Amino acid sequence: ELFLLERPTQPSRSRYEIDVQNWAGGRTERFASMEIEQASPAQTAQDGVWQPVTGTRFRFYVYSAYVERRTVAAVRIIASTKTRGPDAVFCRMWLPNNRTLTLKARVQAIRENWNLKYSAAYVLCLL
């Protein structure tokens, strides 16, 4: 598995472990009436290289991703996109044993953009 993060004060399983069990088998999952196919990645993931996100209305690029464990279990992605009204995107992780984890992402603009149309952003995928 990718990783398992639990809070020491709670004996229950983490949300990540439950989601992996529910989404195992490569099925198509529904998020807000949208179907997301469990296909193989269209391009090879590269760290530290600007890559376009396909299928978005506006320019959307991702640069790097890392696992965040400070306050919540999440994958944080450094990106660049439209400042106001960015496209809805999903995070997809390919796990061992042909399992796929697809999560709805939250896009947060980094407010250093001086009211420009595009800016740096964080894409946050809670695990």
Q: What is the pLDDT of residues 13-23, one digit of tens each?
A: 444 444 434 43
Report residue 74 as tokens: 């999440």
Report residue 89 as tokens: 């995107």
Helix (H) or strand (E) holding 79: strand 74-82
Give the tens place of pLDDT for each residue, 63-80.
988 888 888 888 999 999
> In angstroms, rounded to a whole number, what is the distance separating the alpha carbons of residues 80 and 86?
10
Tell me the whole-structure pTM to 2 decimals.
0.64
> In angstroms, rounded to a whole number, what is the distance separating the alpha carbons of residues 56 and 43?
16
